[in-house]
Amino acid sequence: MPPIILASTSPFRREILTKLGLEFTSCPPEVDEQAKPGEKPEELVLRLAIEKARAVAQQHSSGLVIGSDQLAVIDGEILGKPGDHANAVRQLQHASGKTVIFYTGLCLFNAETGKYQSEVVPFKVIFRQLSDQQIENYLNAEQPYNCAGSFKSEGLGISLFERLEGDDPNTLIGLPLIRLVRMLEAEGVQII
Domains of the chain in sequence order: 4-186 (3.90.950.10)
User: Distance between CA 132 and CA 136 in Å, rounded?
Assistant: 6
Percent of the chain with pLDDT over 90: 84
pLDDT digits (tens, 9 = 90+) for 32-84: 989 999 999 999 999 999 999 999 999 999 999 999 999 899 998 888 889 99
CA dist 101 and 149 (Å) reads 10
What is the pTM (predicted TM-score) of this model?
A: 0.91
Question: Choosing from 32, 69, 132, 168, which is the catalytic residue?
Answer: 69
- pLDDT of residue 173 exceeding 90: no
Q: How many CA atoms lie within 13 A of 92 on its CB side?
A: 30
pLDDT for res 153: 84
The answer to whether residue 69 is catalytic is: yes
Residue 63, pLDDT score: 96
pLDDT 10s digits, 128-162? 999 999 999 999 999 999 888 899 888 899 999 99
Q: How many angstroms separate the CA atoms of 49 and 56, rounded?
A: 11
Question: What is the structure's pLDDT at 68?
Answer: 97
